[in-house]
Amino acid sequence: MPLATYKDLCIDAVDARRMGEFWAKVLDLDLEELDDGDTRLTGSTPQHTVWINTVPEPVSVKQRVHLDVAARTVDDVLGLGASPVDLESFRWKVLRDPEGGELCVFERDSEALEPRLFEIVVDSVDPAAQAAWWADVLDATVGREENDRYSWVEGIVGAPFDYLVFVPVPEAKTVKNRIHIDVEAGDIPDIVGRGATRLREPDDEVRWTVLADPEGNEFCAFEPRRINDDVDPLPPEADFPG
């Protein structure tokens, strides 16, 4: 029995409508504009949901979490408003989204485009330890490159992507991540007991607990949904401490 299961994904944006339109087309999801100015992307399962949350601060440093996506050609994503960073050095193409956040594009044949969200990538001081921690929380499997440079988690139940990847970087986290995941968790104290940090408790405005993993990456933990609770009464909050 996992301590937590994958729920959905959240992306911070200065212009939630513009970024919502961009990511909806990149990920082949449906766009819904919300009354508060945020946007929600939906797909074939609840776990495909992506919340685009309005924040006042623009991208200021390299994102510690970024998305790897599949596309027929990199030009398809560039045509949606992304800008090139490095199209030659790797087997993937490094771009920036319309607000300057990094993303990577893996070019695929049309028959191999699913999932459009290929993997979520997290910068890490200790990738092996991070992958082991998340695999434990999500009851998933750890994979590791032969030379141990990076590690990943696979077999995440319900996740609309293949891998949660941890790559080595020398620098520590300095600002709140602009991309984070939400999970459903039945035993939040157990997750804290295994190394998570509480950042915000539920209150009159939010019904989730904001946590950070052992390297400080924020994520939101929701109590399991009630029977017939088909939608969240409030969208995931972007403005939490980090």
pLDDT tens, residue by residue, 7-57: 999 999 999 999 999 999 999 999 999 999 999 999 999 999 999 999 999
Burial grade of 24 (CB within 10 A; 0-12, 13-18, 19 or more): buried
> How far is it, in rounded angstroms, from Cα 186 to Cα 73?
41
Task: Give the pLDDT band of residue 233 (cuts 50, 70, 90).
Answer: very low
Please tell me the pTM assigned to this model: 0.91
The per-residue pLDDT for range 152-187, each reduced to its tens digit, is 999 999 999 999 999 999 998 999 999 999 999 989
**Which CATH fold topology does 4-222 show?**
2,3-Dihydroxybiphenyl 1,2-Dioxygenase; domain 1 (3.10.180)
Structure tokens given for 179: 């991309």
